[in-house]
């Protein structure tokens, strides 16, 4: 098994305690790392950590995790220009906004595309050097859309699968990208393409149908392009359920969750957790909480909204601007409603340790996860797994997870008033209804966990060569 991603699973960084090996955040790593720890193999990715090349061998390889090595990580060095144009530029200022339906945030620049091509070729050379014909090459995410084509040029019979971790937009959006055809032709050299939601598969098939070179068998969901067949299928990603529900840390967290509510002076606790990103709808959510306090003054000095934001992509302009807006909005709302004893919004801008994360999940009466657009939103599933039965989930209808978690209160996050009303509805919900909805979601999150996702994906992939 060869995994290829842009973000490496572990980076090495300098700290006061010396060089430490840090696990990367995000859905790709949390889903794939357990598989690699179990099966072993090779993971190829950009080595982005400050001390990555101090600890790697002369081939830029290192065994990870460093405390209990299970698989080999081959790091690819990127130059400053490559990072700026391929990663920050084309991946995060063109593809990321486009695939999340923020067309107006796309920054089209010739150099971005030039470097995207170059870095995809660079990855392909490394993959070709490390692989044999019958290896399973599993590529992830939007940074590497051209890779299947480049690998196939070097190894025509390569076994390639691709998992797409973000939404796939309708054709009318995809069409606005100048290089949409090249990208589609590139990814269609995979044998299998997985996406999180049914609607993304439908959109993908529609985009493929519009492609001049491709023919789509809509019943079987097979795309034929340049004499190559690609199966396209939905595989909704799950979480490692037991880590959140009954691990040692989880049991410990259950004891402390009560204290957290007392510490925050909250009788009603709402929780939002996101990576810093304009797609996550953090500003709208803060405004919705403000509207809730305006409409329901009886919840003053009772309700507290905890918003945890994990720093991410801070060198990119759009993210910096948004961070300032969040800071200001939190300050404005707390200044307007807060009293000496009560701070309505507890806001943390940092990556919090797992133990504290679990305490927050367990203590929260309401999980408020309202992205403007999100491939899946695993935080919603983590909340359901960790919370202990009376929690209410308010979930954006624009998160892939809303296809799985129908029992949540779904909201349109652009509708501030509706989101505010959903908070009230969650607080007012009768206990019996809360438990019914919650237990039904818990069952699904437990059953369709990360292992189930991997098993189904691999089964489908292996079927192709049987
Ligand atoms: O799928 C989206 C993704 O690539 C995930 O891996 C992760 O949630 C996030 O984006 C990480 O972003 P970055 O690698 O740019 O820090």
Determine the residue of 8, 23, 27 to mutate for testing ligand 1's pocket, defined as the one with the most ligand atoms within 8 A of the Cβ atom.
Answer: 27
> Tokens at residue 81, please?
């220009």
The closest-lying atom of ligand 1 relative to the alpha carbon of residue 6 is 14
The Cα 342–Cα 345 span in angstroms is: 9
The Cα 295–Cα 417 span in angstroms is: 10
Q: Give 431 Cα–ligand 1 centroid separation in angstroms.
A: 37
With a 6 A CB cut-off, is 312 part of the ligand 1 pocket? yes
What burial class does residue 305 get, using C-beta atoms within 10 Å of its C-beta: 0-12 exposed, 13-18 middle, 19+ buried? Answer: buried
pLDDT per residue as tens digits for the range 181-238: 999 999 999 999 999 999 999 999 999 999 888 999 999 999 999 999 999 999 999 9
Q: Give 435 Cα–ligand 1 centroid separation in angstroms.
A: 33
With a 6 A CB cut-off, is 233 part of the ligand 1 pocket? no
Q: Give 360 Cα–ligand 1 centroid separation in angstroms.
A: 23
Q: What is the mean pLDDT of residues 32-57?
A: 96
pLDDT at residue 321, rounded to an integer? 95
> pLDDT over 90 for what percent of the chain?
94
With a 6 A CB cut-off, is 367 part of the ligand 1 pocket? no
Please report, for residues 68, 100, 243, 320, the alpha-carbon distance to residue 403 in angstroms, rounded to integers and kept in the order given. Answer: 37, 17, 23, 31
pLDDT per residue as tens digits for the range 274-316: 999 999 999 999 999 999 999 999 999 999 999 999 999 999 9
Number of neighbouring beta carbons within 10 Å of residue 350: 9
pLDDT at residue 119, rounded to an integer? 98
| pLDDT grade for 251, boundaries at 50, 70 and 90 | confident
The closest-lying atom of ligand 1 relative to the alpha carbon of residue 275 is 8
The Cα 290–Cα 417 span in angstroms is: 10
Peptide bond into 65 cis (omega under 30): yes
Pairing of strands 2-7, 10-15: unpaired
Contact 31, 237 (CB under 8 A): yes
* E-strand stretches of 136-220: 136-140, 159-164, 192-195, 214-217
Residues 6+ apart with CB under 8 A from 197: 167, 234, 236, 375, 376, 400, 403
Residue 389 clears pLDDT 80, i.e. is over it: no
Backbone phi, then psi, for 447, in 5-degree steps? -70, -50
The closest-lying atom of ligand 1 relative to the alpha carbon of residue 87 is 15
Contact 140, 165 (CB under 8 A): yes
The Cα 352–Cα 458 span in angstroms is: 33
Pairing of strands 222-225, 214-217: antiparallel
Residue 338 clears pLDDT 80, i.e. is over it: yes
Domains of the chain: 2-76 (no CATH), 80-237+451-465 (3.40.50.2000), 242-447 (3.40.50.2000)
pLDDT at residue 133, rounded to an integer? 85
In terms of Cα–Cα distance, which of 452, 303, 462, 449 is closest to 368? 303
Q: What is the mean pLDDT of residues 448-455?
A: 95
Query: Measuring from atom 8 of ligand 1, which residue has the nearest CA?
Result: 26
Query: Measuring from atom 9 of ligand 1, which residue has the nearest CA?
Result: 26
With a 6 A CB cut-off, is 313 part of the ligand 1 pocket? yes
Does the predicted TM-score (pTM) go above 0.85? Answer: yes
Torsion of CA 223, 229, 234, 240, to 10 degrees: -160
Residue 395 clears pLDDT 80, i.e. is over it: yes
Type and span of the H or E element at 182: helix 180-187
In terms of Cα–Cα distance, which of 62, 71, 68 is closest to 138? 71
Query: Measuring from atom 12 of ligand 1, which residue has the nearest CA?
Result: 26
In terms of Cα–Cα distance, which of 320, 262, 295 is closest to 423? 295
Contact 2, 138 (CB under 8 A): yes
With a 6 A CB cut-off, is 7 part of the ligand 1 pocket? yes
Name the β-bridge partners of 346: 306
Query: Measuring from atom 14 of ligand 1, which residue has the nearest CA?
Result: 7
Determine the residue of 8, 22, 165 to mutate for testing ligand 1's pocket, defined as the one with the most ligand atoms within 8 A of the Cβ atom.
Answer: 165
In terms of Cα–Cα distance, which of 175, 112, 121 is closest to 152? 121
The Cα 49–Cα 21 span in angstroms is: 9
Four-residue CA torsion sign, 193, 194, 200, 202: positive
> Tokens at residue 412, please?
């349109």
SS3 222: strand
pLDDT at residue 247, rounded to an integer? 84
């Amino acid at each position: 098994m060869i995994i290829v991603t842009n973000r490496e699973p572990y980076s090495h960084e300098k700290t006061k305690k010396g060089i430490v090996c840090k696990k990367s955040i995000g859905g790709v790593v949390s889903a794939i790392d357990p598989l690699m720890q179990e099966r072993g193999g090779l993971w190829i990715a950009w080595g982005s950590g400050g001390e990555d090349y101090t600890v790697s061998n002369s081939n830029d390889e290192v065994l990870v995790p460093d405390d209990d090595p299970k698989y080999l990580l081959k790091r690819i060095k990127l130059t400053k220009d490559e990072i700026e144009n391929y990663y920050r530029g084309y991946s995060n200022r063109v593809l990321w906004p486009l695939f999340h339906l923020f067309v107006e945030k796309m920054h089209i620049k010739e150099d971005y595309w030039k470097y995207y091509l170059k870095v995809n070729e660079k990855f392909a050379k490394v993959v070709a050097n490390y692989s044999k014909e019958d290896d399973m090459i599993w590529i992830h995410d939007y940074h590497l859309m051209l890779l299947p084509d480049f690998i196939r040029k070097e190894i025509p019979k390569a076994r390639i699968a691709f998992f797409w971790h973000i939404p796939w937009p309708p054709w009318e959006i995809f069409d606005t990208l100048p290089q949409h055809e090249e990208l589609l032709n590139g990814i269609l050299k995979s044998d299998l393409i997985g996406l999180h939601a049914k609607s993304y598969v439908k959109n993908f098939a529609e985009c493929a149908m519009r492609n001049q070179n491709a023919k789509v068998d809509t019943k079987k969901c097979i795309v034929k392009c340049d004499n190559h067949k690609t199966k396209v299928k939905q595989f909704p990603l799950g979480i490692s359920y037991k880590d959140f529900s009954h691990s040692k840390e989880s049991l410990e967290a259950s004891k402390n969750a009560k204290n957290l509510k007392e510490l925050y002076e909250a009788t009603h606790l709402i929780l939002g957790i996101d990576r810093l990103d304009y797609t996550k709808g953090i500003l709208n959510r803060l405004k919705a909480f403000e509207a809730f306090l305006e409409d329901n003054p009886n919840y003053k000095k009772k309700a507290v909204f905890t918003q945890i934001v994990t720093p991410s992509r801070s060198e990119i302009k759009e993210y910096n601007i948004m961070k300032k807006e969040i800071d200001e909005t939190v300050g404005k709302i707390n200044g307007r409603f807060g009293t000496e004893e009560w701070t309505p919004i507890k806001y943390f801008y940092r990556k919090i340790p797992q133990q504290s994360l679990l305490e927050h999940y367990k203590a929260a009466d309401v999980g408020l996860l309202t992205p403007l657009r999100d491939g899946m939103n695993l935080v919603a599933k983590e909340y359901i797994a960790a919370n202990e039965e009376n929690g209410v989930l308010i979930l954006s209808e624009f998160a892939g997870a809303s296809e799985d978690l129908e029992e949540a209160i779904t909201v349109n996050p652009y509708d501030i008033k509706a989101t505010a009303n959903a908070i009230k509805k969650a607080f007012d919900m009768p206990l019996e209804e809360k438990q019914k909805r919650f237990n039904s979601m818990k069952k699904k999150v437990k059953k369709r966990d990360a292992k189930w996702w991997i098993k189904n994906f691999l089964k489908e992939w292996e079927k192709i060569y049987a």
